[in-house]
Structure 1
Amino acid sequence: MRTLELGTSRILYELKLYFRQGDSVFFTFLFPILMLSVFAVAFSTSGNLGAAPDGSGGISFAAFYVPGMVAAGMLLSGVQNLGVDIAGEKGDGTLKRLGGTPLPVFSYFLGKIGMVLISSVLQVTLLLLVARFAFNVELPTAPEKWLTFAWVFLFGVITSCVLGIALSALPRTGKSATAVVIPIVLLLQFISGVYLNFAQLPGWLQDFASIFPLKWMAQGMRSVFLPESFEVMEPSGSWDLGLVALVMGIWLVFGLLLCRVTFRWIRKDS
């Protein structure tokens, strides 16, 4: 109980710290919203995707990019935010000082993951409000769609958090964390169906992207926000939600093992 109490207090502390850092808020909280707005405006005159020959039906480009932006926000909040943040705390000695206190490692992780979960909920809520009221995107009404959204979102955010904690061990210094983490996250977004139509990527690149969880997070979100007619555009012709859960589960377990092996209050070479 004491560990959980400390973790809860760390969540509030991490939230206050997060929203006081303008760069973190922009690149992990507002960036997907900004990108959705850019794509929606840039392609606003291009007609609807999946429209009939007479131009009727289909969905707007804004609607098409919503699931990718939701998935990108999950990845940015977990992998990028925690990867850079924890590496910075190692570099400036924050983790070393925390290691000299009675704070359990689990409470520290609970604070970080709780902060990401809460900020991600706020982010996706704002993103969907912008999509609905600024770009007239029709959101799902079926309860089963929102149930799918809930488990894909929760599963994806927690997996991203665990991988972000593991990735924080890679930068040699806190100052190099951004240069190490951001290119990895950016590359995954381009090959995983966030900015580009996944079906139009070369087959070998689709196979490579399918190794990583972002492709499956985006696919799960497409099953929520896109019409059923778009299901045939997936490589297998199906949303494959069972496979979405399986791949994210594998990465969650793998990330937990990496955290167990790599996380320390101080670097081994310090």
Structure 2
Amino acid sequence: MASSTVRPEVQPSRASAVAQRLLDSSATLSYDPQAEVDWETPLDKGYHGASPEWSTLYGTAYWDEMTEAQRKELTRQEAASVASTGIWFEMILQQLVLRDIYAKDPTDPEFQWALTEVADECRHSIMFARGAKKLGAPAYRPRRAAVELGRAFKTVAFGEAAYAAILVAEEVLDVMQRDWMRDERVVPFVRTINNIHVVEESRHMKFAREETLQRLEKAGWVRRQIHAFVIAVASYVIVTSMVNKKVYANAGLDSARAIAEAKANQHHKSMMRSSCSGLMSFLASARLLTRPALAFYKRAHLI
């Protein structure tokens, strides 16, 4: 009689276990922006596009001189610019993720979660594009240098550099959008967009943290130093691209004065630093806050 061999059960990796939980969460709670967002109601210009406290001019002398209508128009243009930057980076993110899972095991929950994340990002990008158009804004694009740096980054970044950069972009957006989605001064359809993005991106950020830590387990000193620098430069480019300088002219303001006052605005710098405290703690715990990296985070007012 032939003996049968019982195979030991293969235990999933920590990342696969996290991915499976995220897949289960996505199946339970995900949104269809086409159905959830009110695209039909005309824009009510009595609302802001974002919480005023997040405006780049809030707290400046120029802000005090502006009419309430001008303030609301500015926040709508700024919200549209942030959305456009989000689309740009989500396109980079999708390529990073797809390149990372290329030719990997499609039965693995990590692979399936990665495709779920890409699908989420596609829907988010369309949602942001429609939202920016409804806010009455043009297509804001990052400056040419940022576009070319993004092109290089999406081509060569891998491992912790890719996932930590994803985390930085999403964490900064997450904090400001949590404020906007609760603020009744913000136009309702933008609040809905922010709520959808916050809920679904919370899963993306959890996975990015897990992947960053996992990839760093085998990283030596040199690799850690190089990737810490790459992540910091990517973060600087992303954050400084969020509000396009053209928003001021499109809001009917004196562009030169607005740019100068926004650049010197200590209130906005403080808001950025406070929004990134948790992120900086994570990067510090992962030993990614090297001296060269810190210089870029400080220039971007993230620390």
Instruction: Specify the TM-score bucket, using the shorter chain as the normaliser.
Output: 0.3 to 0.5
TM-score by length of 1: 0.35
Larger Rg over CA atoms: 2
TM-score by length of 2: 0.32
